[in-house]
Amino acid sequence: MEVIFPSVSAILSLSAIGIIFGLILSVAKIKLKVEKDPRIDIILESLPGANCGACGQPGCSGYAAKIVTEGMDITLCPVGGSDVIHKLAEIMGIEAVEASVPLKARLHCQGGSANTTNNFIYNGPKDCSAASNLMGGFLGCSFGCIGFGNCAISCPFDAIVMNSNNLPEIDPKKCTGCGNCVTACPRDIISLVPETHTVWVNCKNTEKTPVMKKGCSVGCIGCKLCEKACKEVFAEDPNVESAIKVENFLASIDHEVCTNCHKCAEVCPVPVISPVHKAKKKKPKPKKEAAAVKIESAKEGVQTSTEA
Amino acid sequence: MASTFKGGVHPPENKNITEDCEFSNLSIPGTCYVPLQQHIGAPAKAVVEEGASVQEGQLIGAAEGFVSANIHAPVPGKVVEIAAPPSGKGPGVIVIEAEGAFTATTKQNEPADWANFSKDEILNKIREAGIVGLGGAAFPTAVKLSPPPEKEIDTLIVNAAECEPYLTVDDLLMRTFPKDIFEGVRITLKVLGIQKAIVGIEDNKGKAVQSLQKTLSEMNIPEDITVVPLKTKYPQGAEKQLIYSLTGREVPSGGLPMDVNIVVQNVGTIFAIREAVVFNKPLFERYITVSGKMINKAGNYKVRIGTKISDIIEECGGLKGQPAKIVIGGPMCGMSINDIETPVIKGTSGILFLSEDEVHIGDYYPCIRCGKCVAECPVGLIPCELGNAVEFNRIDIAAQYDPFDCIMCSSCSYGCPAKRPLSHFIKLAQERLRQKNK
């Protein structure tokens, strides 16, 4: 009995403590209940769940809470598109707004390791911002892509892959326009553009052309051919002079005005305006062939004359 | 047993290259490139216009704001242009073509009796002369010497450790001008209104310690100045480590030396303070070490601020071959440069032309978790964890390992067997966190 007694008292006292705390907790659960809007959970379920942060909130749950509690704009999720907007409008009981044109990330550089020179050997961390902060980067071009792939790492949708030329390749099908890559890039060479805009400049270098040419062989040379071509397109429009303008030796397109006619891309001699026209690249070849034919014919002419 | 701190590394000293080279003057460059930002703080504002002719030592850039420093013409001549900096960003560069007479150096001023100057007069002279910390960080000295009234300073520490390999300029300064240095220490003590100064020197500079101790016993100085030899170990000359070695006081995380009632000045700065106060001479020239295996005539030289490194190469007998790295400052903390048109500025303590066997060029490898960096870190950080966290983009983890306490001494990078650029990783962590907290 003396041996059992202490254990009995322990069991009794512990279960008494358990029952008391259990009672306190159950009372507290009823008394201190936090009212949570059930719509938050429903909205969270209908959001894509990528937690990309494109809406500016910390993940989808943050956005769901903000929509319900603060009445935040329901069109901020670029990943979900119009489907999600309609769902959210239904849940919140407000009128659905048509989704704006989806944005796509676009790279404004075509240098890469093949076309640019290096100023020095870089041994530091393989990180774009670390390399960019070290004496303006090791690349010959202080505007171009460094190629360590901070953008690819930051993409939550695996839409960016670094290619063999150390340039990011953006898959427009996978890209949702969340803009994580834009903030990850220390050189500011990725921008978000509505997907309807099909023409863009593949360069950000504003240096004088000879300086730029030392570092990169495929940068914008500021020849203004594109501006000239564009002016011809808008010749009859009194309100618009040109949609593409060359400033600081760099062409830039005003997408508000641009009609996506691709005339600028066709005339670009580098070519640095995308989409690159293959026809343009092939053009010099026939010229050379023609010249060769001329020489041959001249030779034949000489031969014939000697024979004669 | 000489006093020291915990951690640290022992890189090859290589001081023997220039140890016994007496100071010699480099000839005045034909054109000087004087940047307007040579110090920590706001850049100076140009007060001369293009085409103006300037005297040697004339004010050409005026300090803007409290933490800033004046900039003076290193040579007499004509301001050819105020050019944009090579990087395209930040304040410009004043280009001066030398011509005319060297008034400041040819006319030897009578030494002024500084004992008659008041505290504010001396401080004003230091500020006017544009003196900044000459150890490398280039923090305006006048600001450092006027601590806020609530901080009571009781000790001045003269940083003569010169723990960076290769550099010998402070060593030679102490051997050549010991009297001037003690006079500078006394002037600085007067500004601070205190009596106690400690000069800390690494014990590999035996001659300098002897010379200072001998002069000290001869000079009969009323103030309490002591010369203390320290253990030779990098980074003995880092401010916080030096304070700990000499006084046992620990500067709190995120704090400054004045939080433990101490002001630290580099011995070169002390020398410049004396020149400014006694001879009214602004800071337009300084002593530097030119060293490394790839330079023909290594040595300690007196150069004008704004002398291009290409001019110095020419003066020093040219290069033996293509250097693998050109470093401004010491090899541990210095900046390697890729353009020899870079000018010497106030904070340039040395220029090193390093051969391939003196530097590491190549890739880095994954962390092997040996913990060498942890043992070597003088601040007690865990650099390997910081490095791994940054490499895998986990800034939230990096923030838990106190990257802002790093003193950027690069001991971790030096010791790492996997050759990881750990201090660079930590710097990246700091940048990322600053960006995030904006």
Using the beta-carbon criterion (under 8 Å), do B427 and A130 form an inter-chain contact?
yes
pLDDT at position A235 over 80: yes
Beta carbons of A215 and A116 less than 8 angstroms apart: yes
Write the pLDDT tens digit of every residue in A87-141: 888 888 888 777 778 889 999 999 888 899 988 888 889 999 999 888 888 888 8
For an interface test with A, the pick among B363, B388, B427 (most A C-beta atoms closer than 10 Å) comes out as B427
Q: What is the pLDDT of residue A207?
A: 86
Q: What is the average per-residue pLDDT within B350-373? A: 91
Report the percentage of chain A scoring pLDDT > 70.
87
Q: Residue A3 has what pLDDT? A: 59
**Would you place residue B108 in the very low, low, confident or very high pLDDT band (cuts 50, 70, 90)?**
low
Q: CA–CA separation, A80 vs A95, rounded Å?
A: 17
pTM recorded for the entire structure: 0.83
Closest-CA residue of chain B to A150: B393
Contact B362 A123 (CB under 8 A): yes
Q: How many Cβ pairs within 8 Å bridge chains A and B?
A: 36
Rounded to whole angstroms, the Cα distance separating B332 from B356 reads 16
Asked if B431 and A133 come within 8 Å (Cβ–Cβ), the reply is yes
Cβ neighbours of A125 in B, within 8 Å: 390-391, 421, 424-425, 428
Would you say the ipTM is above 0.90?
no
What's chain B's average pLDDT?
A: 90
pLDDT of residue A161: 93
Q: Tell me how far CA of residue B123 lies from CA of A41, B43, B117, B251, in angstroms.
A: 66, 20, 10, 25
Question: Are the Cβ atoms of A130 and B337 closer than 8 angstroms?
Answer: no
Q: Which of A119, A123, A146, A205 to mutate to test the interface with B (most CBs of B within 10 A)?
A: A123
Q: Helices B267-279 & B178-192, crossing angle to 10 degrees?
A: 80
CB contact under 8 A, A123 and B427: no
d(CA B165, CA B45): 35
What's the rounded Cα separation, in Å, for the pair B182 and B108?
21
Tell me if A125 and B361 make a contact (CB, 8 A cut-off): no
Identify all chain A residues contacting B414, using CB atoms and an 8 Å cutoff.
Answer: none
Cα B379 versus chain centre, distance: 20
Q: In chain A, which residues have their Cβ closer than 8 Å to the Cβ of B364?
A: 123
Q: Do the chains contact at B364 and A130, CB–CB below 8 Å?
A: no
| Predicted local distance difference test score (pLDDT) of residue A20 | 97
How far apart are the CA of B338 and the nearest CA of chain A, in angstroms?
7
The pLDDT tens digits for A221-232 are: 989 999 999 988
Cα Rg of chain A, angstroms = 32
| CA-based nearest residue in chain A for residue B388 | A125
Please give the C-alpha separations between residue A229 and each of A234, A249, A267, B61, in angstroms, as whole numbers.
9, 17, 7, 49
Is A206 an 8 Å CB contact of chain B? Answer: no
CA distance B420 to chain A (A): 8
Hey, are the CB atoms on A124 and B390 less than 8 Å from each other? Answer: no
Are A127 and B87 a contacting pair at CB < 8 A?
no
Residue tagged 């209104």 (tokens): B193
Distances A146 to A116, A126, A190, B361 between C-alpha atoms, Å: 10, 10, 12, 19
Q: Give chain B positions within 8 Å (CB) of A136.
A: 87
Out of A56-65, A289-298, B55-64, pick the least confident: A289-298
Tokens 């390399």 appear where? A131
Nearest CA in chain B to A119: B338
Cβ contact B428–A130 (<8 Å): yes
Query: Which residues between 120 and 159 in chain A have a beta carbon less than 8 angstroms from any beta carbon of chain B?
Result: 120-121, 123-125, 127, 129-130, 133, 135-136, 142, 153
List, in order of start, the domains of chain B with CATH numbers.
Answer: 29-101 (2.40.50.100), 107-279 (3.40.50.11540), 372-437 (no CATH)
Residue A299 scores a pLDDT above 80:
no
Q: Is it the case that residue A303 has pLDDT exceeding 70?
A: no
Q: Could you tell me the pLDDT band of residue A282, with boundaries at 50, 70 and 90? A: very low
**Which residue in the set B88, B338, B390 is minimally distant from A125, CB to CB?**
B390
Closest by Cβ to A123, choosing from B390, B391, B421: B421
Residues of B in contact with A184 (CB under 8 A): none
Worst-scoring range by mean pLDDT, A5-9, A54-58, B103-107, B185-189? Answer: B103-107
Task: Give the pLDDT mean for B80-108.
Answer: 76
Of B338, B361, B432, the CB nearest to A135: B338
pLDDT category of residue A197 using cuts at 50, 70 and 90: confident
Angle formed at CA B68 by CA B65 and CA B69, multiple of 5 degrees? 125
Local confidence band at B65 (pLDDT 50, 70, 90 cut-offs): confident
Average pLDDT over residues B318-344: 90
B431–A119: do the CB atoms touch at under 8 Å?
no
Judge: B428–A125 Cβ closer than 8 Å, yes or no.
Answer: yes
Interchain CB distance below 8 Å, A125 and B425 = yes
CB-CB neighbors (< 8 A) of B361 in chain A? 121, 123
**CA B32 to chain CA centroid, nearest Å:** 21
What is the model's pLDDT at position B182? 94
Q: Which of B165, B160, B205, B236 is nearest to B14 (CA)?
A: B165
Look at residue A280 in the predicted model and tell me its pLDDT: 46
Q: Does position B219 have pLDDT exceeding 90, yes or no? A: no
Cβ proximity of B68 and B41 under 8 Å = yes
User: Which of B338, B360, B364 is best to mutate for the A interface (most A CBs within 10 A)?
Assistant: B338
Predicted confidence band at B105 (pLDDT cuts at 50, 70, 90)? low
Q: How close A68 gets to chain B, by Cα (Å)?
A: 27
Query: Which residues fall within 8 angstroms of residue A148, CB to CB, at 6 or more apart?
Result: A126, A127, A128, A131
